[in-house]
Amino acid sequence: MASVHLARMDGPGGFQKWVAIKRIHPHLVEDDQFVDMFLDEARIAAGINHANVAQVFDLGKDDNTYWIAMEYLHGEPLREVMRRAEERRLRISPELAARICSDAAEGLHAAHELRGKNGQLLGLVHRDVTPHNLFLTYDGYTKVVDFGIAKVADRLSSTRAGTLKGKLAYMSPEQVRGNDVDRTTDVFALGVVLWELTTNQRLFRMDTDLDTLEKVQACVVPPPSTIVPDYPIELESVVMKALAKHRQDRFQTARELSRALQSFLMRSGVFVGSEEVAQFVQQVFADRIQKREAHLAWAAEVTSTINVEQVRGRNSTTATDSVGLRSRGREPEPQQRLTPPQVLRRNAAPASGIAPVGRTPARDAADRQMSASSLMDDDEDV
């Protein structure tokens, strides 16, 4: 539905920053509902200023489509971390899982506390808290990403009553019934993530959507200690409270969940901070990190300047019509003058793991530059 491309923002005094450009596929530009969802995602994420939330810093439109400029995250989705760790028979410790989910909960709390221009809470609910939408950077930080289907009071797009939004296996009982959702819905979803991280099993996922829905509705949650014999008792109580069937029995805010996890970490006597998370992620992805860094170094050198005033009316962009090193295994084609749409479309090669997120300070300026490298053309369900 959307493609994401690696880009570099350049400015005066040698300023440079990697960013990601997320753009709607041209065939979806005429879909008003999808465009509204895309614009909502940009507007919502841009309003949340927190270290554990991936933040948008610019939104634009060229002749063909809309695009969002986002912080480039050097890391991996949690789902990929879980998959790779299982392949390599590396255990994600209860303490490591608690740190990851505590940080994610802090990001969610910041989102839930988002207020409108009148100072009133917007009632934001992410609705899609899953390992796919929690991102771990190689330096050990957790980021909540993708607010494309978030519920908020003043969003442009709307969801019909009874319509399910999100991934079934991470929904709450009230969500699968089509009832109103609130911040405790996200608390439940993060509880599912924590249960799965610490047991290395799937909680509600079944072979069919219908069976998954029925299992979520029943909400019978096996205590993790019945699966992992040495499971910490205090952590189990946190997990089970987050996964309570009735929302009034859960943690009432994501911050409450975060503090409960932090309390567990303090009592465990095992210190886990961003450095420890980074060590684990780097251990799991040592080979990929080297390739990614080589890719970034190559992309930083292979650029040619083009004028993109027709996109923003004020900016110039340094861009490269590049091919992915991993997928093509050869040097880029000779550079040429390109129009902005071509910069983001031509010769794009998949580069899994490069993901959108975040905010950098907006730069004024007719002298703002951005160098775009079409290293990635991953379809995303936004």
DSSP for 308-336?
Answer: -HHHHSS-EEEEE----HHHH-SPPPPP-
Q: Which two tokens stand for residue 72?
A: 């480039």
> Cα(146)–Cα(133) distance, rounded to whole angstroms?
6
Contact between 295 and 351 under an 8 Å Cβ cutoff? The reply is yes
Alpha-carbon distance 20 to 18, whole Å? 7
d(CA 374, CA 345): 7
- How far apart are the C-alpha atoms of 338 and 344, rounded to whole Å? 10
Which is nearest to 283 in space by CA: 90, 132, 9, 48? 90
How far is the C-alpha of 47 from the C-alpha of 56, rounded, in Å? 8
40 SS3 class = helix
Starting from the edge strand earliest in sequence, which strands make up the sheet with 134-137, in order?
75-77, 134-137, 142-144
According to DSSP, residue 151 is labeled: B
With H, G, I as helix, E, B as strand and everything else as coil, classify residue 179: coil
CB 20 within 8 A of CB 355: yes
Residue 128: active-site member: yes
Q: Which of 10, 128, 146, 186 is catalytic?
A: 128
> Comparing C-alpha atoms, which of 43, 62, 28 is closest to residue 317?
62
Q: What is the DSSP string of 196-234?
A: HHHHSS-SS--SSHHHHHHHHHHT----GGGTSTT--HH
What are the structure tokens assigned to 48, written together?
């949340």
**Where is 293: in which H helix or E strand?**
helix 286-301
Residues 6+ apart with CB under 8 A from 309: 315, 316
Catalytic residues: 128
